[in-house]
Amino acid sequence: MVDILVTVADITAEEDYLSPLLDVGYELRIREPGHRMVRTPALDVHIHLLEVKHPSVSAYLEFRNRLRKHAQDRDLYARTKRELLTQDWPDMNAYAAAKAEVIKDILSRAHPR
């Protein structure tokens, strides 16, 4: 699965970014304050949309950078996702919660105390 982060100027201006994604086949999965997520019908690509100044943007980028630079963390995350994808999840929140501890662990190594 590929996760993509896209930042937009105004998350509430869905007409500026959502229609083009839906027109090419993406499906809206999450519409919550400050965050939208679309995915392909095959569930292999998730696009997270956040406002440019959303506080999660820096965390997403920090996590990506950590995975790029540290093979052990990259392998751990890949193994975790592969294992989780073999299970049935009642919704995306349950899946996200299941991988949250691994993400937190990886990010903690980016900022050792």
How much is the pTM?
0.82
* Average pLDDT over every residue of 18-39: 95
Instruction: Count other C-beta atoms under 10 Å from residue 106's C-beta.
Output: 20
Give the CATH fold of the 1-52 domain: 3.30.720
Give 54-110 pLDDT, tens digit per residue: 999 999 999 999 999 999 999 999 999 899 888 988 877 888 889 999 999 999 988
pLDDT band at 48 (very low <50, low <70, confident <90, very high): very high
- Strands 27-32, 35-39: parallel, antiparallel or unpaired by DSSP? antiparallel
Between 18-27, 41-50, 85-94, the lowest mean confidence (pLDDT) is in: 85-94
Annotated domain spans of the chain: 1-52, 55-113
The 3-state DSSP class for residue 66 equals helix
* Cα 17 to Cα 11: distance, rounded to the nearest angstrom: 9
Give the model's pLDDT for residue 30.
92
Give the model's pLDDT for residue 113.
63
**Buried-state track 41-62, b at ≥16 Cβ within 10 A, e below 16:** eeeeebbbbbbeebeeeeebee
* Average pLDDT over every residue of 42-55: 93
* Cα 44 to Cα 13: distance, rounded to the nearest angstrom: 26
pLDDT at 43 over 90: no
